[in-house]
Structure 1
Amino acid sequence: MSEILDEGPFFHGTKADLRVGDILTAGFRSNYRPEVVMNHIYFSALLAGAGLAAELAAGDGEPRVYEVEPTGDFENDPNVTDKKFPGNPTRSYRSTEPLRVVREVLDWPRLTPEGLQDWRDRIAALRAEGTDEIIN
């Protein structure tokens, strides 16, 4: 396991409508690549990172950010750690163990419509190049 840089709080962005105490688990289709079933559940110590994940998640629901707590071991997200960025500047993590919802965060930083479109364009460009493996 990699060195963990944070002790929390941790956040998870999604379009799912969750409640305090709900458990998030791996084993579902990726929000970004629906052909992939995820072996991990992903989260961040950065509120803005979870917000971005919520904004980009698949589905028609409202983007939501939740404070979560890992119920077991977790590691630095290797999709962005060292593979793409030295260290873990995105403070992104993953776990095969569930996350428990602590609360919904209502005051997270939202992207402008232009900023959101810029991210969608970047992801589309990565997919076109075949280098979208950093998108979970």
Structure 2
Amino acid sequence: MQDHRPTETPVLDAGPFYHGTKADLPVGALLRAGFRSNYHPEVVMNHIYFTALPNGAGLAAALAPGTGPERVYRVEPTGPYENDPNVTDKKFPGNPTRSYRSRAPLKIVGEVTDWVRQTPEQIQQWRERLEAMRRDSGAKIIN
């Protein structure tokens, strides 16, 4: 039987960390797992995801559901976190996307406004890639 557990790659970052969304949230708010995935809406997430790259969080905000403006928040993990196994070693060696996840909440410590926004054409290309991944029977998300 093949072992499908995520590869144990050392966590490379101590922060700062960012989370992208369209939700208007105050400093001090806690972001928690238990909501639908931005990329696979049929999946309720067991983890909250974040990155050490503000532009990566901006892309997540652009792809998030909702009609509000894209927001990137600086966040601090309130508990242990690990490399995101959906991209670490599964798609890229190591963790070049500097993507992480935690079962513990993330605390919003501020909003970032100086990140690079995607063009409407780039956002559409990302949406098309995500849709192709959903159709691909081999595409699985580790939740």
Please indicate the TM-score interval, normalised by the length of the shorter structure. over 0.9
Question: What's the counterpart of residue 109 of structure 1?
Answer: 116
Instruction: Name stretches of at least 5 consecutive residues in structure 1 with no aligned partner.
Output: none
Number of residue pairs aligned between Structure 1 and Structure 2: 136
Identity of aligned residues (%): 68
Secondary structure class of the residue paired with 2:11? coil
- Cα deviation code 1:3-42 (max 9, x no counterpart): 1101110000011111100001111121222221110000
Is 1:29 matched up with 2:47? no
Is 1:42 matched up with 2:49? yes
Tell me the TM-score normalised to structure 1 length. Answer: 0.93
Secondary structure class of the residue paired with 2:140? helix
Question: What's the counterpart of residue 13 of structure 1?
Answer: 20
Please, which of 126, 129, 132 is the counterpart of residue 122 of structure 1?
129
Secondary structure class of the residue paired with 1:20? coil
| Amino acid paired to 1:28 | F
Please, which of 89, 92, 96 is the counterpart of residue 89 of structure 1?
96
- Cα deviation code 1:38-77 (max 9, x no counterpart): 1000000011110110000111221110000001100000
| Amino acid paired to 2:67 | D
**Counterpart Cα distance in 1 of 2:86 and 2:118:** 23
**Counterpart Cα distance in 1 of 2:42 and 2:66:** 15
Is 1:54 matched up with 2:61? yes
| Amino acid paired to 1:89 | P
Is 1:133 matched up with 2:114? no
Instruction: Name stretches of at least 5 consecutive residues in structure 2 with no aligned partner.
Output: 1-7
**Counterpart Cα distance in 2 of 1:12 and 1:131:** 27
